[in-house]
C-alpha cells in the first residue's frame, strides 16, 4: 500500500526546519511567508487553527510558486480534501486514523501523519507511511525516544515537532532518522504583532543555516 510520495522527503532533505504557522489574516500570511522564504525556508506548514487558514494557503501558494506550501492540523478526510483544493502540496496531521489513511490514497496531497509511540509507528507503517511526524516531540521523549525508535524502525524517517526551538533543533537533526524539524520559534508572536518582517527573515536565515550532521 503506497500512500506517500517520496517527493516530499526529497523536498525536505535540504530544508532543516518547517515553520509551523498560525495566521489571523491573509495579509499577515503573505508578509510572514515572504520573510520566511526570503530567509531560506521555502517549505511552510499553515495550520488549520484559524478561520482564514484555507484562504491563507490559497494566497501563499499563488503568490509564491517557488515555495512548498502545506497544511497542518489536518484531522479528517474532509480537511485533506479542503487543503488539497486550496493548493496545499502536503498535509500534516497530529495523529493517524484509519479513515484519514484511506483518504490519503490518491488524494494528490502527501500526508505526513503524526505518531508518538512504537505502536502508532507500526500502524502507520501498515498503512503505507514511512515518513512520519513525531508529535509532541519534547513531551513524548524527545531525542532519546527517537534514538530508541531507530533500532526497530530504521526504515522510518521523522519530522519531530512540538517544543523544539533553535537550541534543541541541532540535537534532533543529528539523528539518522530525522529529516527535518517543525517549529514555530521562527515566527514570534510579538514580531508578527509589530510587523517586524525583518526579524522573522533573520530568524529564518538562522534556522536555514542548521544542517544535519548525520
Active site residue 189: no
Q: Angle CA(157)–CA(205)–CA(59) in degrees, nearest 5?
A: 80
Residues in Cβ contact with 109 at an 8 Å cutoff, skipping those fewer than 6 apart: 71, 80, 83, 84, 88, 89, 90, 91
**Is 58 a residue of the active site?**
no
- Active-site hit among 34, 45, 138, 189: 45
Concatenated DSSP letters of 173-212? HTSTTB--EEESTTS-HHHHHHT-HHHHHHHHHHHHT---
Q: Which stretch of DSSP H or E encloses residue 38?
A: helix 26-38
CA distances from 14 to 68, 69, 91, 120 (A): 13, 16, 19, 27
Cell of 174: 543529528
Q: Which of 22, 28, 58, 133 is catalytic?
A: 133
Cell, residue 5: 510520495
Q: How many Cα neighbours within 13 Å face the side chain of 96? A: 32
Active site residues: 45, 133
Amino acid at each position: 500500500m503506497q500512500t506517500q510520495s517520496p517527493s516530499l522527503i526529497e523536498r525536505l532533505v535540504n530544508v532543516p526546519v518547517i515553520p509551523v504557522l498560525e495566521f489571523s489574516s491573509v495579509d499577515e500570511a503573505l508578509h510572514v511567508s515572504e520573510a520566511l522564504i526570503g530567509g531560506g525556508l521555502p517549505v511552510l506548514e499553515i495550520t488549520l487553527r484559524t478561520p482564514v487558514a484555507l484562504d491563507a494557503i490559497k494566497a501563499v501558494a499563488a503568490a509564491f510558486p517557488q515555495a512548498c506550501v502545506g497544511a497542518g492540523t489536518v484531522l479528517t478526510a474532509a480537511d485533506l480534501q479542503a487543503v488539497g483544493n486550496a493548493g496545499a502540496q502536503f498535509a500534516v496531521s497530529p495523529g493517524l486514523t484509519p479513515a484519514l489513511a484511506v483518504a490519503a490514497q490518491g488524494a494528490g496531497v502527501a500526508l505526513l501523519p503524526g505518531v508518538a509511540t512504537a505502536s502508532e509507528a507500526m500502524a502507520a507503517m501498515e498503512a503505507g507511511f514511512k515518513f512520519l511526524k513525531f508529535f509532541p516531540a519534547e513531551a513524548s521523549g524527545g531525542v532519546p525516544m527517537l534514538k530508541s525508535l531507530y533500532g526497530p524502525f530504521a526504515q522510518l524517517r521523522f519530522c519531530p515537532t512540538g517544543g523544539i526551538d533553535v537550541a534543541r533543533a541541532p540535537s534532533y537533526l543529528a539523528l539518522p532518522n530525522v529529516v527535518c524539524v517543525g517549529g514555530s520559534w521562527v515566527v514570534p508572536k510579538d514580531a508578527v504583532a509589530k510587523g517586524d518582517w525583518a526579524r522573522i527573515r533573520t530568524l529564518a536565515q538562522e534556522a536555514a543555516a542548521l544542517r544535519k550532521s548525520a
